[in-house]
Structure 1
Amino acid sequence: MNQTKPSKKQLALAIGLALIAATLLTGWLLSVFDRYQPFQTPEQKLLHAMEAIEQAEGRGKAELIEQTVIDPYFYTPYMFDVHLGASLAVSSGGAEDARLAPEQRIPLLEWYMRHAEPGHFLIRAAEQLAYEYDILGKNAEAERLIADTVERLPENAAERRELLLVQAERQLESGNLAQVRESLEKVGPMTDKEVAIYGFSDAYGLISSRLLFAEGQASSALESADRALAEQTRTDQAGYTSESYLVLESYRNSIRTALAQQDSKPSIFSGKLVRSDGTPVSRAGIFLRENDRSQYRGDKEPYHAVTDDQGTFEIRGVVPGFYQLEVGLSYEQLKEWSWPFDWDDRIEIKGNSNVERELTMTPLIKQLSPLGGQQLTEDIVKFSWAKMEDAAYYELSGMIPNHDNGGGIGSMIVSGIKENHLSIPISELYATPGGLSWSEDNDWESTEPNSLLAYMNPEAKVSWSVEAYDAEGNKIAQSSGPRIDSTNSSDLPEFYLKQRSLTPADRLVLKKDLSQALNRYRDNVKADPNDTESLRMLTRLLYAKSQIKEDQSAQAELIPLLERLNEQSANPREIEKLLGLFYETADWENYERYYRLYQQSNEEATSSYERSVHATSLLVVGKTDEARQEFADAISEDPTHRFIGMALTAELAADRPLTEVREMAQTYPQLDREQVWTYWADLLEAMEKERSASPVKFDAQLEQSLTAFLKNREAGIEIEKLQPSGLRSIDDFVDALANVN
């Protein structure tokens, strides 16, 4: 086959065309690469998405708005990056997500509401836009939006029922009770499928019960909640517990309690969230949580609000009771700020009242030293932080990282610090234990090894934090918080304690070979009785074994070793262990001796919990008057009133009238964080009623039952119930005492 050789002109033309094509192809590829490269910054991705929305039309534009503006989870109303309070939740997505500002989202949501077809995304868009209008104070506009959207949806559509329930809840929260009933009537009968998939029955039941309570019909509200719960199942076919069911159940229980306390009128909780410089904090979530709840349940929470542009909020129709407050905030709102809450804080809301609170965010305390993973080698460790106005004292805590660096365990190092700095001997840090953490099967050798070594591990990068308190003991500021702008590792409050090296026994601990480590530490102590570090680690391993496995032989070996350690290196944290062990074993003589030693060696004020435990020890050994005085001082300072049952027993043992003792129970209701609720006032009221039939017989039996209970406690006898007294109210009271600890 003959081939014609191309001319130079043809060759040059071909090369030119190829270069042009290559240039165009390269430009297109770069454009595509720039637009879709997986390692774009979140801001670039969001910018490209917004450009695409601006250029699109019709259904294509609607789909892009769904993907970018409506669907991302963090745009869901009442969803926040961080929840500070009872559930203390932090979003896993968070700071890496670029987000549209409200002024960018609102016009796009409004366009979508005008042009989109009815469906799931229309419902979500309506909820989100109404939420934005509420924050701007456009409540009437938000109500019209929801009402108009309801009319756009088919009569029997599940989406229509869903939005009607949203509408009813909004009307309930704004106090439009007549409109709530109208919206509920429009919901109509629900199919089994809708109940199973959407949980409409749970939501309907909660709103119906809340409406009745808001109307002042507490008994009917309780009956309504009971009916709704009876019609539902607690778990689905997969075995998962229904969150909305749990919310309804908890709400039902709060009404039941309010009725029992004869205080069941609806109340209002309102207030304002501001920064310490007076600036209002808008777009923050405010949640009232029942005292027995520690898990956040999103917008299913019955009591929630969002702060407006003045930082104000209002929650209506609250059932009287004790609540914990929770604040939802964005990472941006928390940048260098925090809302310093205390785990034990409770808000008492009485019936037919308007409780107001001003909540104040304060700047994070700036930590000065040590920072950046500094390797400390001196025998004195120096901490310093910025001084806080109105701080009466500070508390310093450390965080021991887990062995796999997946989180850590915190422990308080020193409290009652008067200045904004502290110099602490390394020996005191070594004596500060970490918290115990182990597997669910109670295998003591699964104990987290770093927590055993704690500050004695030179390979662990320890972090530290500080909290400030006023003269009344209220937390006013803290150093810890999600610092999303802290990219410089030199700013992080972390350090290594390099004053010692790991021993072979220590390395066995880090390998989780705790039995071998235990034997090695025993050998070390036997070879050198003055080896304080080995003795300390021996006591820590034995303590873990005795607590986790409830190993009595380990406990018997542990107690004399702890006493010996105390002789070599008296430290309040280690004396605390001895106190606990002597209390458990009912060794009251040694308990009292070491309690005095603990007070002498501890520069910090003895806590209300420690004083309550001591008061209990005085009561069980028959020192009733001393116990009453100790309880009187401790209970008033303890916001949880955890030991109120024993304090009441001390009053009864001193022959105080039941009426006066019941008044004391009403003044100090039990609200401990373990959530073991006992309504002591109710128990005492029942005792008063039963006593009225035969006062002399009742008083004699009460004295006999309380004496038997205290004698058993003095002897360390663990029994769940005493021999029945024949008087129901006395037996109920004594049974409740068994849970006080």
Structure 2
Amino acid sequence: MKIRIKVKQLVYFLGLLMVFVFAFNYGTSSSQKLAEADRGVMQAEKSEQILHMIDSAKPDEQLKLIEEYMLKDDSGDLTHIYDVYIGPDGSMYGGGSSEVDTQPEFNLKEQVPYLELYVQSGTSDPAISTAAKLLTYYYDGSGQWEKAAQLLTEARKRLHITRYIYARDELFMLQAKLAAEHEQYDELLRLCADMLLENKNSINSDTYVRISDLLVEYAMSDGKAAEMLKQIQDEMERQKNQMKDGDVVKLQSEQLQGILDRQNKLSSNKIKTGAEVSGTITKSNGEPLAYAGVFLRREEDINRSIFDMEPYQTMTNGKGEYTFKGVVPNSYKLFLGVNLSQISGWTWPVLPDDGWIDLRGQSKVQEDVVFQPLMELKSPVNEDVVRDKTMTFEWEPVAGAAYYNLNIGMKLHSGSTSRAVRQGITTPRVQVQAEDLYYEISGISSYSHGKEQEQLDPLSLLGYANAKNQFSWSVEAYSADGKLLTRSNGYRLSNDLTGNLPFFYLKERTLTEADEMLLAGKLDDAEAMYEADADRDPSDAHSLHMMLMILKGKTSLLRGAGTADAEEKKSMDAQQIDILKKLVELHPTENYYEWLADYYFKQADWNRYNRYYAIAESMRPFKDNSYSDGNHAMALMKQGKTDEAKVYLKKSIENDKSHRFIGAYLALFLYSGGSLDEGIQLAVKYPDRMGYNTPVDWEELLIAMKRESAINPGYKAVLKDKIAQYNHGKDEELKRWQPASESGLTALKNFMTALAHVS
């Protein structure tokens, strides 16, 4: 049985949280939450009333009502029209979410006759553009792309040529996108040329980039497209050289480089045409998610909000089907735009490291999404107060589940946090000792108001030991091979779907005076009181734990690079280690021993590191700990134990879909005599997916090294020497090594630089 565990991901950043806060916000009562949940029924009734009102109105009044209720600002842009946008890496509210309580909701099929009427007879140019865009998605999804193209031409003619340049450009771009997707390349070139000519005095770099994205694939096989791309690049370069704002120049340079990278990607792979990516978005009961937004997002775009310029955006048709054509080689993930009513009671069971679509010359790829019903919780729920030393968490079993993971979250001043506290639970019920929760390290956060000095959040410091805080919990179900089947946290809108709310209070312990002082915001006074309590009673593990948390928090606020901050941090680190050594005697936990091991890793004190690592490993209930395995491999490598290090690194990259330590594995593989060709194959098999760092393309690095080695007889010896320095932690020597450009070692230097960031 493969257990999915993420080590050291103690805080789920707010933008990546896929928790219940999207449906039920902290700070409101249960009755308020139930009232909010009932809005789905009220919206359906309101929608019927609005449609009846439009149908019975006079012609002029009809147009005003259509504009008011169906054509709100930006509603034609797929990046704005949905309540929520969800993907493997997280969820975020959409542009329409602020009006979700007041605006009636219509599906696209319901709107079609009204939108057609508005395109023909409407008076507002922006609203005409919006209606035309929505109709285009509907027609194209229904297999009527020629009708969509004709509609866009007619709508564009109705827009004022100078007053509404942006609206006209949007219709131009949509029509050009249709032409590209349906391989009407002469039409694509004509539309792009017309748009460039019409906007020659006002076009911006964003528009150039969007046109280039459409042309870049076709440019591989057509000289006219390549010529137009060259003109665009020359103009962007000219604009960049005239700019004075450094940030704008940087953005322009990045956009230019992006165009060149996409061209080179196609050229290097000798691919003459892009791939077709298609699929169906449904619920497990067979119901399609009709007219949902679908975004095929490039790897370089995933860590930011979905934005209008992303090239691969579409809408599912009435059957939940979608298609992207002409997709250039890259790594992608699907993201979806949906309205809350579509997914109320359902979840897309996908994890952050899942969902990669790697295009390497395939002609067709199918990627389906199936939503599953949310799990039902039994207890503790609905703000239950737990006073027992043993807590029992219980939920409804899931068919096919081999095990479950339990997460517990808490309210913070600046949001919320959650972490897994039990994994690999084989029954739909588990008992947790309250005292064990008190010593969980839930992640330390800080906040500030305006220009005030940043301060530590006392709620994060006290963690699960806070008898005044409201806690929450969720559970995930997994198959035997580690696939997420479903989860309990998601969206519920109507009373019959609300179920039990996952909130509770843990009041088994009584807050100490020091705890109360901490919650009052008097951090220094609280720290002094904890120290006094620990001096008075050396067995007071809680006070020691809180001293540790406060020191850790203060260390996190020392972000300066100066000598004073470095010395203070060193002193605080030493104090933390003294406290940890006392805590492992009083209340030993895996986290405490990992903390000690990590400290001695950084000190290169391998005897102490090995001792504490072994204890921490013995306390882990499961062995799929990819981060710990990879980090331990780095320690073994620095001790000269390369064979053992390779074993741990291989286990890490096979269990961790982000392949965090693939660079180190490649280095040891090459050091041990592996060829660059074999290394390239490994880099393809285990691509770097580190989401919160810039991923490294190890394949490209090794390909460049292969080219260098072909003309440099001594290359293999230099490679082995530099990796040996890396293995033995000679980081400063490697930093100082600057081979001359004519030495034929530039790619090797880039490889060694990338290795320095593997951790």
TM-score greater than 0.5 by the shorter chain: yes
From the superposition, tell whether residues 94 and 115 of structure 1 become closer, same or farther in structure 2 (CA, over 3 Å). Answer: closer
Q: 2:679 aligns with which of 661, 668, 676?
A: 661
Instruction: Tell me by how many angstroms 1:186 deviates.
Output: 3.2
Aligned equivalent of 1:730, options 748, 752, 755: 748
Contact 2:278/2:323 (<8 A) preserved: yes
2:386 alignment partner in structure 1: 376
Correspondence 1:178-577 to 2 at 5 A = 178-191=186-199, 194-195=202-203, 200-209=207-216, 211-212=218-219, 223=230, 226-227=233-234, 229-230=236-237, 250=258, 252-260=260-268, 265-293=273-301, 294-345=303-354, 346-403=356-413, 407-439=415-447, 446-485=455-494, 491-549=500-558, 551-577=569-595
Change beyond 3 A, Cα 1:74–1:703:
same
Offset from partner CA, 1:553-611 (integer Å, 9 cap, x none): 11011112112212221222333322332323323222222222122112133421211
Query: Matched residues in 2 for 1:442 and 1:431: separation?
Result: 33
User: Which residue identity is paired with 1:115?
Assistant: S
Asked if the contact 1:205–1:228 (Cα under 8 Å) also holds between the matched residues in 2, the reply is no
State the shift of 1:211 in Å. 4.5
Match of 1:164 in 2: 172
**Paired amino acid for 1:411:** R
Secondary structure in 2 matching 1:413: strand
**CA–CA distance in 1 between the matches of 2:660 and 2:271?**
23
| Unaligned 5+ runs, structure 1 | 1-40
Equivalent-residue separation in structure 2 for 1:685 and 1:217 (angstroms): 31
Distance, in Å, in 2 between the alignment partners of 1:76 and 1:200 is: 15
Match of 2:63 in 1: 62
The residue identity in structure 2 corresponding to 1:212 is A
**Contact in 2 for aligned 1:431/1:574 (Cα 8 Å):** no
Provide the residue aligned with 2:92 in structure 1.
89
Residues 143-197 of structure 1 show CA distances to partners (whole Å, capped at 9, x for unaligned) of 332233234456777354442222112222333323222322333524477436x
Partner of 1:143: 149
CA distance in 2, matches of 1:650, 1:443: 48
Q: 1:160 to 1:290 in 2, by over 3 A?
A: closer
In the alignment, is the contact (CA less than 8 A) between 1:436 and 1:452 conserved in 2? yes
Amino acid at match of 1:305: T
When the two chains are superposed, the root-mean-square deviation of aligned CA atoms in Å is: 3.5
Structure 1 or 2, whichever has the larger Rg, is: 1
Identity %: 27
**Structure 1 letter corresponding to 2:332:** Y
Instruction: For residues 454-493 of structure 1, give each alpha carbon's deviation from its aligned partner in whole angstroms, at most 9, with x where no partner exists.
Output: 1010111011111122222222211111222259998210
Q: Which runs of 5+ in 2 are unaligned?
A: 1-41, 559-565
2:353 partner letter: D
Residue 255 of structure 1: CA displacement?
Answer: 4.0
Q: Does the C-alpha gap of structure 1 residues 127 and 451 become closer, same or farther in structure 2, counting only changes over 3 Å? A: same
Partners of 1:431 and 1:476 lie apart in 2 by: 30
Deviations 1:270-309 (A, max 9, x none): 1122222333322222211111222233443211222222
Q: CA deviation at 1:531?
A: 0.4
Q: SS state of the match for residue 400, structure 1?
A: strand
3-state SS of paired residue (2:397): coil
Cα displacement (A) at 1:672: 1.0
Per-residue CA deviation, residues 205-259 of structure 1 (Å, 9 max, x unaligned), is 4434354368699977975664464365699989899999977865654444454
Q: Aligned equivalents of 1:241 and 1:43: distance in 2?
A: 49
Query: Counterpart amino acid of 1:451?
Result: S
Task: Tell me if the contact between 1:222 and 1:252 (Cα under 8 Å) persists in the aligned partners.
Answer: no
- How far apart, CA to CA, are the structure 2 residues paired with 1:241 and 1:371? 53
| Further displaced range: 281-290 or 231-240 | 231-240
> Which deviations, in whole Å up to 9, do the C-alpha atoms of 1:368-393 show, x marking residues without a partner?
11101111011111111111122222
C-alpha spacing 1:700/1:301, structure 2 compared with 1 (3 Å): closer
- Cα distance change of structure 1 residues 77 and 689 upon mapping to structure 2, 3 Å threshold: closer
Judge conservation of contact 2:299–2:332 (CA < 8 Å) in 1: yes
Q: Secondary structure at the match of 1:107?
A: helix
Quick check: 1:371–1:494 contact (8 Å CA) kept in 2?
A: yes
Q: Number of residues paired by the alignment?
A: 695
Tell me if the contact between 1:463 and 1:495 (Cα under 8 Å) persists in the aligned partners: yes
Could you tell me whether the CA contact under 8 Å between 2:295 and 2:335 is conserved in 1?
Answer: yes
Match of 1:125 among 126, 131, 135: 131
Q: 1:137 to 1:243 in 2, by over 3 A?
A: farther
* 2:189/2:225 contact within 8 Å kept: no
Moved more, 493-502 or 207-216: 207-216
Aligned residue for 2:726? 709
Instruction: Give 1:499 shift.
Output: 0.8
Distance 1:201 1:665, change over 3 A: closer
Matched position secondary structure for 2:130:
helix
> Which one scores higher on RCO, CA 8 angstroms, separation ≥ 6?
2
Partner of 1:31: none
Residue of structure 1 equivalent to 2:649: 631
Shift of 1:43: 6.9
**Aligned letter for 2:398?**
M
Q: CA deviation at 1:352?
A: 4.2
1:574-589 residue pairs with structure 2 within 5 A?
574-589=592-607
Answer yes or no: is the 8 Å Cα contact 1:409–1:434 preserved in 2: yes
